[in-house]
Structure 1
Amino acid sequence: MAFLSEISDYKNTIINRLLSDQELCKALYYQTPDFLEQPDIEDVSMLIYNNIYPHRFIPTIDQDMWTYVTMALGDFRLVKRSFKVGTIAINVFTHRTTFKTHYGCTRVDYIVNKIDEMMNEKNGIGVGKLEFDYLKEYVVNENFQGYCIAYRSVDFNK
């Protein structure tokens, strides 16, 4: 199990990247179509466990009209005992009433594009650069939909 010890570090790196972008944080926090015109969020860490989760599920989704980012790291395997590969999947979904924005794209399109700018071909998770793996629709229920965007990570076994 020691060869998977970096999983928590990967999640923390992803969360820190998300929180480092004020525009992305606004897209998660403010549910109005003009979220970019809203005030900066002074304490972006309050988005953790409210809008950003270091796991695939959220505790409750009832009638809240929030936007969420969750993540699932999996499909990790050893390759010739010297390094490991795995998938980092990031789910972005929002209530159907908050899809519309004033920016020529849907809210989830905006967020997924921001995430891709922060993740694709970037270092800091594993060795080398993350590689885009796939993008697919992510449907939670009839009220919440979005995308799952995934990347492949390679790391040396320690």
Structure 2
Amino acid sequence: MSFLKEITDYKNTVINRILSDSDLCKAISYNSNDFLSQPHIEDTSMLIYNNIYPYRFIPDIKIEAKSFITLSCTDYRPSGNSFKNGLLGIYMFTHRDLFKTDYGYTRVDYVLSKVEELMNSKNGIGIGRLSFNSLNEFAVNEKFQGYALTYRPVDFN
């Protein structure tokens, strides 16, 4: 198997962590300002390829107001004789009409905090704990904005 096979595993782990958090799924699925008071999503897997994508882009950003999480793995390179490292990017963005919530914080800030709770300094991606790399604002276009959160996983070759 390819020595970069872990990239698929990393993405699957991130997606499974996102899908395991009921409130995070509500935040990206429901468009209402009171998304946390909406019904529990029984089948969170329906969010994959609707709101969550295992690659950086989405098929058509001209669609209606929605929230998204997309993933990327970039800048992978050897690190020493038996390790490799790179960047795991998690992009969270929403339509500007959905930013306001009933909770005193923006939807995208809520999504960012939930994703960070699920990822930062956790085991299961690479060896050891996942290391925070950076946080930047992310603008898809004038209607969709959010954050790009990156981590640096390290793994064996």
Structure-2-length-normalised TM-score: 0.98
Quote the residue 1:145 is aligned against. 145
Quote the residue 2:110 is aligned against. 110
Task: Give distance in 2, aligned partners of 1:121 and 1:63.
Answer: 35
Unaligned runs of 5+ in 1: none
Quote the residue 1:51 is aligned against. 51
Q: Which amino acid aligns with 1:44?
A: T
Give the alignment's Cα RMSD to 1 decimal.
1.0
Quote the residue 1:96 is aligned against. 96
Query: Is 1:120 aligned to 2:120, yes or no?
Result: yes
Task: Give distance in 2, aligned partners of 1:12 and 1:89.
Answer: 13
Q: CA deviation at 1:81?
A: 2.4
Q: CA deviation at 1:79?
A: 1.3
Q: Which amino acid aligns with 1:150?
A: T
Q: Which amino acid aligns with 1:67?
A: S
Task: Give distance in 1, aligned partners of 2:81 and 2:7.
Answer: 18
Query: Partner of 2:62: helix, strand, or coil?
Result: coil
Q: CA deviation at 1:61?
A: 1.4
- Residues 17-63 of structure 1: CA distance to partner in whole angstroms, max 9, x if unpaired? 00000000000000111000000001000000000000000001114
Unaligned runs of 5+ in 2: none
Q: How many residues align?
A: 157
Query: Partner of 2:105: helix, strand, or coil?
Result: coil
Structure 1 moving runs of 4+ over 4 Å: none
Identity %: 59
Quote the residue 1:3 is aligned against. 3
Q: CA deviation at 1:104?
A: 1.4
Quote the residue 1:132 is aligned against. 132
